[in-house]
Structure 1
Amino acid sequence: MRLVLIGPPGAGKGTQATLLGRRFGIPHISTGDLFRENVSHGTPLGQEARRYLDAGELVPDHVTGAMVRRRLEEPDARRGFLLDGFPRTVEQAHALTTILARTGAVLDAVVEFDAPEHIVVERLRGRGRSDDTEEVIRHRQQVYRRQTAPLLAHYTDIVLTVHAVGTVEEITDRALEALADLPGAA
């Protein structure tokens, strides 16, 4: 099963990705983890990413795409994966299609974890991180909506929307129900 998980910051994608990955026996691949791993190991891609990160800039699509491509080539991702944080834009979605086409693979679904803004703001403020001010959180929500609307339209035929309010278990159950008809979900 090849899945992309999307949702606003605070919707619980990371938590759900870990649980769903265990359930289906496929790796949860987070771009944040890929950045940290490549930077900490001093890989050429990590060194390139670090230059942008240290300058407070976004890592360019070609660097992120190369990290994702290399990760998807690892043996544990051959049976499937859950991508969290990639693609974020339609351009990155095209890059992912190209990456998968090399092996004849396609995405099975894009799972959108949908939660009202006031809920995700409350969740993120509850984390107590210094950078999680309400103003910063709301700005991240706006950026997410601006970037994600075109992405949802791009993937319209394979988007499965999961209501991401409730307990972790309730949300997981909804996600499993949404995925139940896909190959490999049994």
Structure 2
Amino acid sequence: MEFKQLILLGPPGAGVKEQAVTLSKRWHIPQVSMGQLIREAIAKESATGIEARPYVEAGELVPDALVMKLLRKRFEQPDVMLQGWVLDGFPRTLTQAQGLNEFLAKVGQPVATVAYLRAMTGLLINRLTAEGEYEPIPAIRRRLARHQEETAPLLDYYQQQQQLSKINASLSAEEITQTLAELFEEETGAAGFIQDESELDSLLEKESLLVVDCMASWCGSCKLVTPLIDQLAETYKERVNVRKIDFDANKQVPKRFGLKGMPAVMFFKDGELMETLTGVKPYQVYNAALTRFLE
């Protein structure tokens, strides 16, 4: 699966931070929280933290220059540079958004995908009032209106840059997570992704021959097999359904089929598992296995 850089935006009550945590774990990539970066800088009494403290204590936005300094320092660390990231709490201003795009271009990284979680005001109010800390509804409405006003220039900018996707945050948390994950599955190669075990079962019922590559985004060996599976799918596209399935989103599948490691390419005939090739194999091995089952 491809290198992921995702910015999550959304109003209070949309579940932005929760989705950032969930996707970070699902994809095994760092979650970068601007709020956390600021709190850590203040706690450590770094030069940037000392400058930021008065703004935080006054309930004001930390100046763009300080925020960008913290973000650049975090993004220059190897885990972010090599694995990708999910970012929440940033950007808050148009200058920050532009600054991040400029920084990514400077270090040779692509621009990020931006997802805005949106929901009806009434639903957001219901969620916020259910959180346990009492806040008058008029105050919540003002907070949501202020967020909308502050966010509008960002959404316009990202729309113009063709980076923006708007996500229905009225759905369940699980459905939102899956929708966000699908943003990175639009170009999957010739072998598309099976979303869940239910879809896998449906394919097993109707496909006489099915090839499934069980892989994960954090698995280096999987990345070597992916282009071979795509080649297999392209070669046999008129005769065989060749697909991929994400281990992290479907952890019950390896247990169900007794997989001992990844990548694992499974060959099913008439719904029955006939052969499993584990580890990285030459293309000729995958091709030979498929050819046997076509005979």
Q: TM-score, normalised by structure 2?
A: 0.59
Where does residue 60 of structure 1 map in the other structure?
Answer: 63
Q: In structure 2, what residue type is equivalent to 1:19?
A: T
- The CA distance in 2 between the partners of 1:44 and 1:101, in whole Å, is 27
After superposition, what is the alpha-carbon deviation per residue over 1:8-44, rounded to whole angstroms, capped at 9, x for unaligned?
1110011111111112221111111111111111111
Aligned with 1:3: secondary structure? Answer: strand
Aligned with 1:47: secondary structure? Answer: helix
Cα gap change, 1:182 to 1:129, in 2 (>3 Å): farther
Unpaired stretches in structure 1, ≥5 consecutive residues: none
Where does residue 179 of structure 2 map in the other structure?
Answer: 174
Aligned residues: 185
CA RMSD, Structure 1 to Structure 2 (Å): 1.9
Residue 100 of structure 2 is aligned with which of 96, 100, 105? 96
**Residue 77 of structure 1 pairs with residue 80 of structure 2:** yes
Which has the larger share of strand?
2
- For residue 182 of structure 1, report the CA deviation from its aligned partner: 5.8
- For residue 129 of structure 1, report the CA deviation from its aligned partner: 1.9
After superposition, what is the alpha-carbon deviation per residue over 1:61-120, rounded to whole angstroms, capped at 9, x for unaligned?
111111111111111111211111111221111111222123111323101111111111
Where does residue 13 of structure 2 map in the other structure?
Answer: 10
Give the share of equivalent positions with the same residue, in percent: 38
Unpaired stretches in structure 2, ≥5 consecutive residues: 189-216, 219-245, 247-295
Contact 1:28 1:81 in 2 (8 A): yes
Give the structure, 1 or 2, with the largest relative contact order (CA under 8 Å, sep 6 or more). 1
Aligned with 2:183: secondary structure? Answer: helix
- The CA distance in 1 between the partners of 2:185 and 2:87, in whole Å, is 18
- The CA distance in 1 between the partners of 2:59 and 2:169, in whole Å, is 31
Where does residue 153 of structure 2 map in the other structure?
Answer: 150
**Residue 159 of structure 1 pairs with residue 164 of structure 2:** yes
Contact 1:111 1:161 in 2 (8 A): yes
Which has the larger share of helix?
1
Contact 2:117 2:167 in 1 (8 A): yes
Q: In structure 1, what residue type is equivalent to 2:63?
A: P
